Structure 1
Amino acid sequence: MKHKKQTSNVPSVFSKRRVNLLYVPAVLLFLVFTIYPLINGFALSFTDWNGYSAGYNNVGAKNYLRLFTDEIFLSALINTLIYGFGSTLIQQILGLSLALALDRKFRGRTVMRAIVYLPVLISPVVMGTMYYLLFAYNYGGLNDIMIAFGLDRVAWLSNPHLAIVIIVLVNSIQFVGISMVIYLAGLQSIPQMYLEAAAVDGAVGWTRFRSITMPLLQPAFATSIVLNLIGGLKLFDVIQVLTGGGPGYSTHSISTLISKTYFDSQTAGYASAMGIVLFITIAAFTFVLNSWFNKHQVEGA
């Protein structure tokens, strides 16, 4: 009598262990470059460490109390919120509009998608330099055009209000491709039968978009908004290249102010406290947004 070879669909313990070993490098990198700096930064935020000496003193909550009486930090906090929410709003409007336009079939659609996404692949430092050459007071491309038309130069980057708007626009233009890709994926995941059924019921144009498309795009909205907001709140490179936080301290975000406080003022403990506040701010907004989207997704299901 022939005996059938028995096979088990359950992976062996050895196989499971080998699979689990694949996670080790990623976990180690996360612990070393994320968790350890966070814990160490939190500990240093209660000290007067200057960033280079071996010794330091514990100052309790002094650094945190100082933050909320420091006009420079409070200005940077407001700027950070403007960069975060301003960029996020613009990226959602442009990203969704571009996704709707490029979801249609026409010649050159793939090329247009690539062009919109291309700035995402460019270093923020390079992107900032490009726009600095455009908005520079002397020899800037935009001012050269204005002079050619008989107009006066404008100090685009020396005016705090204009500079903040320019920073928001540059950041939005660079990363709008991410929102576009997310919304394109969301649009292409909508079952065609829903759109056809809506058309049969007479829902077309804005009515169909509001009643069918937008509710089904909710996961895409959640992903895009959270990612864009996180990126905007921790904005650093573009600000550093375009204005360096100036004029004065008027365009600093918390990220750029941390750098200046740490390296220029050599008050690493105070800079660490700023970093913890930035982390808490980003974590709080992320938690609130995710909770809101999850709640409404369940209610709308």
Structure 2
Amino acid sequence: MVTRARSVRKVNTVAATTSAPPTRASTPPARRRGRSPYPGWFYLPAAIVYGLLFLIPTLLSLYFSMTRWTIFTSEFTGFDNFVQFFSEPALTKGFVNTFVYAAITSGAKVVLGLALGMLLTSQIVGRGFLRAVVFFPVLVSSVGVGITFQVLMNPSKGAVNAALGVIGIDGPGWLTDPSLALFSVAMVDVWKGVGLATLIYMAGIVSIPKEYYEAAKVDGAGSWTLFRDVVFPLSWPATSTVVTLSLIGGLRSFDLIWAMTKGGPGFTSDVIASVIYKQYQAGFYGLSTAGNVILFVAVIAVVLPLTRLLARKEVEL
């Protein structure tokens, strides 16, 4: 009887073992399917357009900047065009003016944009109308603005000097004085572009949660403390956006300067873009192409480190 009982238990054990579902360890690992290249084909049209409109022209510009070329012929000259660009005082003046112009316009847009952004997000009368007035110059053509202010800043017949003469001030030659021409154009650029900076700051200020204001007021914070500890730090993304856009626009500026002064008087208000255009007009195609490369490198050299610095500062705040 004992032997039979052991036999029955052994049979039951074997049956239970064979009938149990296989465990995860006993199942063979499933084959991993290879990643399909199908989604990558959607990048192809954009890559083709990017290559045709950016990569190929950039490489060709780099090559032609090292040549003396016309429409039908080209002669390789190495870095002679770059040496000539930085050896002629007029061309070097345009290079320096570019950075001065970009620094003035971007700095003024940040300060005025932040001040107007705070004003136009406060509870003031006619806030909607003032917003439209501030933003309107952004919509106007740069050439139209340049021609208009060229007339307004005329030293003898302009409305600006006429208004100053009413209060007994002899107005200067805003666009004819070599020491004022570049700064006069820069101020017009600020007037035209501060509306966009104001709009960006308004969006940044409005997005700040009201709890921060309430907590600061409970702690007895005044207007300056509220601005320093709440508004300015929390609107830093708007500041970094305005600085980046303003610098890029300032370094690439051409249309407003050309409409108002054409780089004059002399070369005092020239920037890289106007120098490039003048060299094209004179038939120095290789030298002007070298100026394009220099402008491209200057923009990259300024914007990339600045963008990383602003992003790092944003994370710290």
TM-score normalized with structure 2 length: 0.82
In structure 2, list runs of 5 or more residues that go unmatched: 1-35
Residue identity opposite 1:280 in structure 2: V
Does the C-alpha gap of structure 1 residues 49 and 119 become closer, same or farther in structure 2, counting only changes over 3 Å?
same
Deviation (angstroms), 1:207: 0.8
SS of alignment partner, residue 241 of structure 1: helix
Tell whether 2:253 aligns with 1:222: no
Tell whether 2:298 aligns with 1:281: yes
Does the C-alpha gap of structure 1 residues 54 and 102 become closer, same or farther in structure 2, counting only changes over 3 Å?
same
Deviations 1:143-185 (A, max 9, x none): 4445667765642211111111101100010000111011111
1:140 aligns with: 158
Matches within 5 A, 1:259-298: 259-263=277-281, 265-298=282-315
Matches within 5 A, 1:138-177: 138-145=156-163, 154-177=172-195
Select the structure of larger CA radius of gyration. Answer: 2
Residue identity opposite 1:213 in structure 2: V
Does the C-alpha gap of structure 1 residues 294 and 145 become closer, same or farther in structure 2, counting only changes over 3 Å?
closer
1:8 aligns with: none
SS of alignment partner, residue 57 of structure 1: strand
Query: How many Å separate the matches in 1 of 2:122 and 2:221?
Result: 19
Contact 2:181 2:265 in 1 (8 A): no
Deviations 1:28-78 (A, max 9, x none): 55444433332221111010114xx31110101111122221211110011
Query: How many Å separate the matches in 2 of 1:237 and 1:189?
Result: 34
TM-score normalized with structure 1 length: 0.86
Aligned CA-pair RMSD? 2.3
Between Structure 1 and Structure 2, how many residues are aligned?
282
Matches within 5 A, 1:227-246: 227-246=245-264
Does the C-alpha gap of structure 1 residues 152 and 208 become closer, same or farther in structure 2, counting only changes over 3 Å?
closer
In structure 1, list runs of 5 or more residues that go unmatched: 1-12
1:211 aligns with: 229
Residue identity opposite 2:293 in structure 1: I
Deviations 1:88-128 (A, max 9, x none): 11111110000000001334211211110110111100010
**Aligned pair partner of 2:62 in 42, 58, 61:** 42
Deviation (angstroms), 1:138: 4.3
1:99 aligns with: 117
Deviation (angstroms), 1:199: 1.2
Deviations 1:195-238 (A, max 9, x none): 11111112221112111221111111110000001101111011
SS of alignment partner, residue 161 of structure 1: coil
SS of alignment partner, residue 75 of structure 2: coil
Contact 2:98 2:251 in 1 (8 A): yes
Query: How many Å separate the matches in 1 of 2:170 and 2:230?
Result: 50
Q: Percent identity?
A: 32
Matches within 5 A, 1:46-61: 46-50=66-70, 53-61=71-79
Matches within 5 A, 1:71-150: 71-145=89-163
Does the C-alpha gap of structure 1 residues 146 and 196 become closer, same or farther in structure 2, counting only changes over 3 Å?
closer
Does the C-alpha gap of structure 1 residues 155 and 291 become closer, same or farther in structure 2, counting only changes over 3 Å?
same
Report the more deviating stretch, 27-36 or 234-243.
Answer: 27-36
